[in-house]
Structure formats: structure tokens, C-alpha cells
Structure 1
């Protein structure tokens, strides 16, 4: 595994005005995913890249020390988010195909599908508007998923359901499903690399629940780390 000069592998989290809004908005998606990465056992040197990051995304992905790129949740819709990312599409695909890891949380999961970054052989659908969904609003709410066979409740805000064709399901590892069946968290391969996608927010800090008057069901750090560990172990 390539490492930075200090001996640590680098993980890069995307940052722009939609993932890291003004200080008046407490929902800093870039920081929540960065905290998840820092807390793991992989010893990442976590950095940011993008318009509100420490360097350009292309430069960060071309750095041989970078082993993971994470796109967090973000304000707005997926088509607008992709337009802001379009110029870096080729660099992202080359990075993952060459052995890198892509972690997509909420908006980051939507962006992995065909028509956007095209990292996923499948599609990501808006969960709350699906027939049979247990969440019926795009606003902040709670969702219960079955994560490796155990019911867990997570923060949810307009996240996706990951729909895999049969040929992809054979290769993918589904970590979590929504009560009505579709996947909520998946790890699968892309070229020599791998992608990990999740619709809800295992990265959500307690402040997000408090800000929206939601009962806090307990930390989900273990689920975020399970997703991350599975992604990094993928061959």
C-alpha cells in the first residue's frame, strides 16, 4: 500500500460549498466522513480535496500516497452535484480502476451510478419515494436497516437504495438492507479497485440528531468502520 512521507496511507475527502456549508449550518458532511476515516484502524492521513479542500482533486488522486477517495453527503440534487464533479470524472475512474478505493456516503452513493461516475454496475434510487419505503420524507429522519442480520437505526436524509443486477449481486457484498428489501450498504469491485456505498449516515455525529429533534439511537461508528474495513479488504 502506498504511504505518505510520514508512513501513513492518505485518504482524501471531497470538500466544496455543498459538502461543507457555512458555519451557520452544523451539517458538515466533509468533516463527518473525515472523522470516520480518522477513527479507523487503517491509520489514514486524512486530507481534503476539491473547491473547499486543501488541494485540487486531480492532484490528490494522482498522488501515489492516496489510497482512498471519499465523497460524503451534500446539499442539493445528484445531477447538480455531478455537474460540479464532471471535469474530474476521468481522474476518479482511473484512480479506482487502478486499485484505489471509493467511499460514497449518501450523495456519494448516488454519484457512483451509471450516467455519473459509472463506478457501479447498477443504479441508486431515491429511497424515500420508493413504493414500500419505511421513510416517506427527504427531510432528516431515522431509518432502521438490517446490518449483517442485526437491526440498527441510522440518521437518514434523502439517501439512496442500491439496486444491483443479478450479475453484480454475485460479486457484491451487501452489508445492509432496508426493511422492504433493497440494499442500503454495498461493497463491490471496479477494475483493480473497489467501491463502498451507503445510503444512510453511519458517520452522523450526535449533533445532527439534536439539531433536527431526532432521538439518538446510539453511535453507529461500528457500522461505518465495518463498511470501511470491508472496502479496504476487498480484492
Structure 2
């Protein structure tokens, strides 16, 4: 059973729910320049692209599994493996060299999570800089900035503390966002705003109701970084446990859009819209 708790601050002074909080291309090198069709043409249907999903003390129970399920159900049909201190796969250059995606789930305070992960920062930064892909959900999106991996030219903030936010506490809830200009509903629990610096390359996929960016795709070196403040990976069990209902039902198309927009180099050129 997943545990819940108070909210999250970047300075770690307030707890976030340990309920759910997110998602490397290495030796495959040239695959970074290929789209879905190119990846599958090279690897074949029996050897789907690998996504490494962190699972360990810097992630909450069930979060890694939800992200892995989202990746497996995406159009590319990723195969997934967990990496972490208690997993068969450790986070390392060699492990990342076999992967197309590194996914970082969330869980706990930002600062304690960062203390557990900072020893792997150089490997993850090099992986993305050389053409890999980072997917971060909620705390994984917080960790893409500083303190964290420093993968984005910009800053993250706490949505519930922004002016005009429709939510002012860290309780699990459902919020409305505008995803590619259309109103949609997503599971939310104290996620970040994603503020790219002026002139930084990036696509804002979704905004909160106050206009702050809720999901973005940007670049880091030759790689791409996809981040979501809400939880497009949330499955039915999340809603049931929190006694919440999504007016649209539980759907995963927005999570698939985030993955495609991040990993598929044939998607439209990054811009600010």
C-alpha cells in the first residue's frame, strides 16, 4: 500500500506524499537521430528500445512501476528494466549505454532524494548530453533542475505557491490543465512549474490554469528532456486509493505524447509553443 504524507518544498522543509511522485541512449549512439520507425528498424520487434526506470529509496512505492507500465504501453513498446541500489541493474555508464531512456520517478523531499542520487549525476548528465533521453515526473521533474541533475536551462517552482493556483495544499487531487491547448484532467500531488529561461529551446506541452508550464520538452546537449508536473502515468489504483475520480476516465494518451515528444527526434522542431 502506498503511503501519503505532507507536501514538498525545494528546500526540503516540508514533506511530499510518498505516494507517487518519475523516467538513457548510450552505446546505441546513432539511434538518437532516428524516430520510432528508425529505432524499430534497427532493433527489430523482438528487441524493443530499452528504458531504465529508477527504483529505490529516492522513489516512492508504486511510482516506478507506474512509469514502467506507461513506457511499455507507449507506441514504441519499450522494454523496461529497473535500476537502483537494490536492483540487478545499477545506475552506471555501462547500463545507460544500453538504454534509450532514463526515467526518474519521485518520492520524498527533494534534498534527501538528491543526496541519494547526486553520485550518479555525472553519468546521467553525460548520457543525456551525448544523445540520451530523460523523463521526469513530479519529483523527477524537480530533480531535472537545481538542486538536481541540472538538465534544463531554467528553474522549477512549486505550483501550489504560485499566484492564481487552483490548489493551495499538497493533498492528492485532480486538476485541469491545457494540454496542447485543450482542457484535460490529470492526477496531481504537489508538482512543479517548469520555467524555461528566455530563449531556451523548448516546447510547452501543457500549462496549469494560471498559465504556468506544467509539461515541457527541452534539450540538453544532443539529448532531450521531457518533464511533467502532474502525473500522466497514474493508473486506476492511484485514483481508487485517494478516492478521486478523473472526469475523463483514466487515460494514458498524454503520457504517451510526452514520451513521443521527448524521444522521437522526428517530432516537430522544438519551439516555445
TM-score between both structures, scaled by the size of structure 2: 0.78
Asked whether the 8 Å contact 1:49–1:60 carries over to 2, the reply is no
Q: Corresponding residue for 1:155?
A: 187
| Matching residue of 1:121 | 153
**Does the aligned pair in 2 maintain the 1:172–1:186 contact within 8 Å?**
yes
Residue deviations 1:179-225, cap 9 Å, x none? 10110000011100000000000000111111111123312300000
Number of corresponding residues: 225
Partner of 2:51: 11
Q: Gaps spanning 5+ residues in structure 1: where? A: 22-27
Distance in 1 separating the partners of 2:150 and 2:177: 26
In structure 2, distance between residues paired with 1:60 and 1:201? 30
* Cα displacement (A) at 1:20: 4.5
RMSD between superposed Cα atoms in Å: 1.8
8 Å CA contact 1:60–1:66 kept in 2: the answer is no
Match of 1:166, SS state, is: coil
> Could you report, residue by residue, the CA deviation over 1:75-101 in whole angstroms, capped at 9, with x for unpaired residues?
x11111111001000000000000000
> Residues 65-84 of structure 1: matches in 2 within 5 Å?
65-74=98-107, 76-84=108-116
Find the aligned partners of 2:155 and 2:47 in 1 and give their Cα distance.
37
Q: Does 1:196 align with 2:226?
A: yes
Query: 2: distance between equivalents of 1:139 and 1:87?
Result: 31
Cross-structure match for 2:23: none
Aligned pairs for 1:133-152 within 5 A: 133-152=165-184
* Residues 98-136 of structure 1: per-residue CA shift (max 9 Å, x gap): 000000000100000033100010111111122211111
SS of residue matched to 2:100: strand
Partner in structure 1 of residue 11 of structure 2: none
Q: Which position in structure 2 is the counterpart of 1:111?
A: 143
Q: Which residue of 2 aligns with 1:35?
A: 69
The alpha-carbon deviation at position 226 of structure 1 amounts to 0.4
- The answer for unaligned runs of 5 or more in structure 2 is 1-30, 32-38, 267-273
Q: Distance in 1 between matches of 2:141 and 2:251?
A: 18
Shift of residue 7, structure 1, vs aligned partner: 2.5
The residue aligned with 1:208 is 238
Provide TM-score, normalisation by structure 1: 0.90
Structure 2 counterparts to residues 55-74 of structure 1, below 5 A: 55-58=89-92, 61-63=95-97, 65-74=98-107
CA displacement, residues 15-63 of structure 1 (integer Å, 9 cap, x when unaligned): 0034243xxxxxx000000000000111312000012433111156443
